[in-house]
């Protein structure tokens, strides 16, 4: 959950960063909708033949980077496609299209995700789920919001009644382990949902559309913004065994359910790839 006390200086800085990030995320989303053809061309693959990047991933990130540099030229930027640039105390964490396969196939669950760190702490997050016209926002200590409504995650849901979102990696070995883990999770929960965008899944936790989320493999740009949004909606967001969220494993749910989900997953050694 979010820290109970946030200084006025941090709150003021975070509010301004959210406002700028939202403007940029909306502009990137409008560009992507306008330029997306019936089937976007695959530009390259990343970790495996199923892990694709399109020309519009590149274009979206370049637009976002340009707008950040115009407004705040001294800030650092970490982007999924362009890597890390700069070394300022403020760092932007950008996923230009989270859910690229959904984008490629014309499925609605993809998003533009922008988070901002100040001195190593994420203080602002925006996730624009473009096809649904939904822009989720959060500032550290100021709550999570969607269309003027403050978000609250579901609470008091036991594991056996929980709707849990998850996702899968791209390498065959990792997928085999994830299928093994999933087979142990499914009998213990209400049901599983696989949306295809980690950022959107975390916002779904914040909005109470699912009760929890876990996944092996998401990177900083996948979960930085959505994780803050979920935490500001009252969820616990982290990794296994007290670690912060990380590519090894990321979990998110209301306190109580988080601990139950952790207790189910930890003995399965879900961070392995074979």
Residue 109 confidence (pLDDT): 96
Q: For residue 196, what are its two tokens? A: 């295809």
Strand 191-193 and strand 163-165: the pairing is: parallel
The model's pLDDT over 145-160, given as tens digits with 9 standing for 90+, comes to 999 999 999 999 999 9
State the helix-helix crossing angle for 55-71 and 8-35, rounded to 10 degrees: 140
Residue 1 confidence (pLDDT): 41
Terminus-to-terminus CA distance in the chain, angstroms? 33
Residue 92 — very low, low, confident or very high, per pLDDT cuts 50/70/90? Answer: very high
Residue 2 — very low, low, confident or very high, per pLDDT cuts 50/70/90? Answer: very low
Whether residue 75 is annotated as binding a ligand: the answer is no
Instruction: Compute the distance between CA of residue 8 and CA of residue 11 in angstroms, rounded to an integer.
Output: 5
The model's pLDDT over 245-255, given as tens digits with 9 standing for 90+, comes to 999 999 999 99
Instruction: Compute the distance between CA of residue 208 and CA of residue 228 in angstroms, rounded to an integer.
Output: 15
Residue 40 confidence (pLDDT): 72
18-27, 47-56, 263-272: lowest mean pLDDT where? 47-56
User: Dihedral sign, CA of 110, 203, 228, 29?
Assistant: positive
In terms of pLDDT, which residue wins out, 2 or 61?
A: 61
pLDDT at 194 over 80: yes
Residue 48 confidence (pLDDT): 67
Q: Are 252 and 206 in contact (CB under 8 A)?
A: no
In terms of pLDDT, which residue wins out, 39 or 192?
A: 192
As a whole number, mean pLDDT of residues 167-188 equals 96
Instruction: Compute the distance between CA of residue 237 and CA of residue 223 in angstroms, rounded to an integer.
Output: 10
pLDDT at 191 over 60: yes
Residue 262 in 3-state DSSP? helix
Q: For residue 274, what are its two tokens? A: 């074979």
Residue 63 confidence (pLDDT): 98
Instruction: Compute the distance between CA of residue 104 and CA of residue 87 in angstroms, rounded to an integer.
Output: 33
Whether residue 98 is annotated as binding a ligand: the answer is yes
> Phi, psi at residue 86, to the nearest 5°?
80, 170
Residue 119 — very low, low, confident or very high, per pLDDT cuts 50/70/90? Answer: very high
Whether residue 222 is annotated as binding a ligand: the answer is yes
Contacting residues for 257 by C-beta, under 8 A, at least 6 apart: 157, 158, 159, 162, 211, 212
Whether residue 211 is annotated as binding a ligand: the answer is no
Instruction: Compute the distance between CA of residue 265 and CA of residue 203 in angstroms, rounded to an integer.
Output: 22
pLDDT at 196 over 50: yes
In terms of pLDDT, which residue wins out, 131 or 9?
A: 131
Bridge partners of residue 100, in order along the sequence:
none
The model's pLDDT over 216-246, given as tens digits with 9 standing for 90+, comes to 999 999 999 999 999 999 999 999 999 999 9
Residue 255 confidence (pLDDT): 98
Residue 232 confidence (pLDDT): 98
In terms of pLDDT, which residue wins out, 69 or 36?
A: 69
The percent of residues above 70 in pLDDT, for the chain, comes to 95
Whether residue 229 is annotated as binding a ligand: the answer is no
């Amino acid at each position: 959950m979010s820290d109970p006390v946030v200084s006025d200086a941090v709150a003021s800085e975070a509010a301004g960063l959210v406002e700028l990030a939202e403007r940029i995320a909306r502009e990137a989303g409008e560009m992507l909708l306008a330029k997306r053809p019936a089937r976007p061309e695959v530009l390259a693959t990343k970790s495996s033949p199923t892990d694709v990047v399109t020309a519009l991933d590149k274009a979206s990130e370049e637009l976002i980077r340009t707008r950040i540099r115009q407004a705040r030229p001294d800030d650092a930027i970490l982007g999924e496609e362009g890597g890390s640039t700069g070394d300022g105390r403020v760092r932007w964490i950008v996923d230009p299209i989270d859910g690229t396969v959904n984008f490629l196939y014309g499925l609605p669950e993809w998003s533009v995700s922008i988070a901002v760190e100040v001195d190593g702490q994420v203080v602002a997050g925006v996730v624009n789920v473009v096809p649904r016209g939904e822009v989720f926002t959060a500032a550290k200590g100021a709550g999570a919001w969607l269309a003027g409504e403050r978000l609250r995650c579901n609470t008091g849901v036991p594991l056996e009644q929980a709707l849990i979102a998850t996702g899968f990696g791209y390498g065959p070995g990792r997928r085999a382990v994830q299928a093994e883990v999933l087979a142990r999770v499914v009998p213990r929960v209400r049901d599983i949902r696989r949306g295809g965008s980690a950022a959107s899944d975390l916002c779904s936790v914040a909005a109470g559309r699912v009760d929890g989320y876990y996944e092996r493999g998401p990177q900083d740009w996948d979960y930085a913004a959505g994780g803050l949004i979920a935490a500001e909606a009252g969820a616990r967001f982290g990794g296994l065994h007290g670690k912060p969220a990380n590519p090894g494993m990321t979990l998110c749910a209301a306190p109580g359910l988080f601990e139950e989900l952790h207790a189910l997953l930890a003995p399965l050694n879900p961070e392995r790839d074979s």
